[in-house]
Structure 1
Amino acid sequence: MAANNGYPGIKGTSSVALHSSLPAEEYVNDPQFEVMWAMKAYNHAEVYFNLISSADPKFLMLTTADDKIYSCFREAFGDLDVKLLGPEDLKSDEAKGKWRPFCNQFDGIVDDFNYGTLLRLDCEKGYTDENTIFATRIQFYAIEIARNREGFNGPLYNSKS
């Protein structure tokens, strides 16, 4: 990657465009593509954290489908403690078996529903190596909508305001 402030430049961008348009069986791991994904995921996390730190999260709408996401999430995961998640809540075989059908029902409803996103495990803490896990966009939305509506993200806002 050229030394241009961490951005891939024209050559890198065209490489990403090429790889993102290939059929899945022809896709190869391109380090530039992975760096761009990591930058986008980090930027998304940073913007979201700044948002819930500066605006009362109970009033936030993350998507046009927040009500549907929340009701379906609580129907499928009524006992999930969204305040403090463990990796097994998302990554165990049992969890994956529950998450997969939940996530897939939002295909065509939520843009980039299966796009990789960073999620905080403990909602009282920020994005750190120890407190961050990889999740799909719809998992992020479901958990963060629940945290916002159930008041778990409120202390972040209250501590900053």
Structure 2
Amino acid sequence: MASNNGLASLGIEGMSSAAHALSLPATAYGNDPQLEVMWAMKAYNHAEVYFNLISSVDPKFLKLTKEDDKIYTSFREAFSDLSIQPLDPDGLKSDEGKEKWRPFCNQFDGVIDDFNYGTLLRLDCERDYTEENTIFATRIQFFAIEIARNREGLNSPIFNSKSDNKS
């Protein structure tokens, strides 16, 4: 995932202003297009860091939160039959999917910081973040699916392909 601009193009002042703006409550903005751009940049930056991480470190050994065990156990109890490779966006976005995810997500309110913030999630975990391979999900959905992918070895092909190229 290469980035020539991203947050670095904002400079120190711009990033500081963006961080401050993103810490304000949503009611302070309405539908401000600049805010949407800042959120998109923050989500992209998170995706870029995560992809670089799973490219550099064997994902089976990654710990994404202090609550990985709880998230994984709860996720697999609630979604034992959900295929996470590839991920079907309807499982998250359909009305039925949203109803099933809501109680799962809400149990992490106060446990995982910003559990309901938006983040980017890959549909096919053997591929990079691209427009056609990415959906918008909540942070706790990202953690649940990516922790499962890491523990179940599904993100290993990314690491293996990057480490094979280094040899």
What does residue 86 of structure 1 align with? 88
**Displacement, 1:159?**
0.9
CA distance in 1: counterparts of 2:34 and 2:46, whole angstroms? 18
CA distance in 2: counterparts of 1:148 and 1:18, whole angstroms? 33
CA contact (8 A) 1:16 1:32 kept: no
Q: Could you report, residue by residue, the CA deviation over 1:36-93 in whole angstroms, capped at 9, with x for unpaired residues? A: 1111100100010010011000000000000000000000000011110111011001
Whether 2:10 is the aligned partner of 1:7: answer yes
TM-score, normalised via structure 2 length: 0.85
What does residue 140 of structure 2 align with? 138
CA distance in 1: counterparts of 2:41 and 2:118, whole angstroms? 12
Q: CA RMSD in A?
A: 2.4
- Residues 12/102 of structure 1: CA separation in 2 closer, same or farther (3 Å cut): same
TM-score, normalised via structure 1 length: 0.88
Aligned partner of 1:76 among 70, 75, 78: 78
Count residues in correspondence.
157
Whether 2:24 is the aligned partner of 1:21: answer yes
CA distance in 1: counterparts of 2:112 and 2:104, whole angstroms? 12
CA distance in 1: counterparts of 2:128 and 2:34, whole angstroms? 27
Q: Which consecutive segments of 4 or more residues in structure 1 shift more than 4 A?
A: 8-20
